[in-house]
């Protein structure tokens, strides 16, 4: 709830600035007013900024409002790789539109991600990283992050038409004290290819 209130207050502040420029008080309708997106900056994350922007679905020149930015933030957090995405606008006097800053808070701690059997893992890692550098060999132990990796690993082992034969099961490996030490994705064994 705090995130939504904080985000809404940032939007109201920004839209108040726009309203002042138009010499009228800001209204709740200003949250739904569309403004052109002139730039996007990503801060606070270990993830590649271009990957965060791609997952968000935001594009320069797009018309956005508070609802569109909430949806974009939800797309990024749905990966399970980040805890939250807060955003704010900045306005450059004399220029149309707004610049957007996405402040991303990563999930943690990170665990090693392993694809088993390891002798078959290199082509899968190459496929993942060529599709998006967001896929590293360290990841947070969240259900959504595990699902995000599992469906993309399944995509990499799919048939030439891009269909997935089987879901890729994942387990969290623990040490003798029950502490999580790695996330293992086990490749299916296909018989009679």
Q: Which residue has the higher pLDDT, 8 or 47?
A: 47
User: In the prediction, which pLDDT does 32 show?
Assistant: 78
Confidence of residue 41 (pLDDT cuts 50, 70, 90): very high
Q: Does pLDDT of 7 surpass 50? A: no
> Can you name the residues that pair with 103 across neighbouring β-strands?
43, 86
CB atoms within 10 A of CB 32: 12
User: In the prediction, which pLDDT does 28 show?
Assistant: 64
Q: Which residue has the higher pLDDT, 15 or 186?
A: 186
Indicate the pTM of the whole model: 0.78
What does the block give as tokens for 30? 């200003």
pLDDT in tens, 87-106: 998 887 888 889 999 999 99
């Amino acid at each position: 709830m705090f995130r939504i209130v904080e985000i809404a207050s940032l939007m109201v502040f920004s839209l108040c600035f726009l309203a002042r420029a138009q010499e009228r008080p800001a209204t709740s309708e200003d949250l739904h007013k569309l403004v052109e997106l002139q730039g996007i900056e990503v801060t606070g994350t270990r993830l590649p900024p271009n990957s965060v922007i791609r997952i968000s679905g935001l594009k320069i020149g797009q018309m956005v409002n508070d609802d569109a930015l909430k949806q974009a933030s939800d797309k990024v957090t749905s990966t399970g790789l980040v805890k939250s995405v807060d955003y704010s606008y900045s306005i450059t006097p004399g220029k149309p539109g707004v610049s957007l800053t996405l402040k991303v808070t990563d999930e943690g701690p990170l665990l090693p991600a392993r694809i088993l059997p390891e002798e078959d893992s290199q082509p899968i890692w190459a496929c993942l990283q060529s599709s998006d550098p967001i896929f590293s060999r360290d990841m947070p132990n969240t259900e959504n992050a595990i699902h995000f990796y599992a469906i993309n690993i399944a995509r990499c082992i799919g048939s030439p038409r891009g269909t997935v034969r089987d879901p890729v099961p994942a387990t969290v490996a623990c040490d003798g004290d029950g502490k999580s030490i790695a996330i293992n994705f086990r490749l299916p064994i296909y018989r009679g290819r």
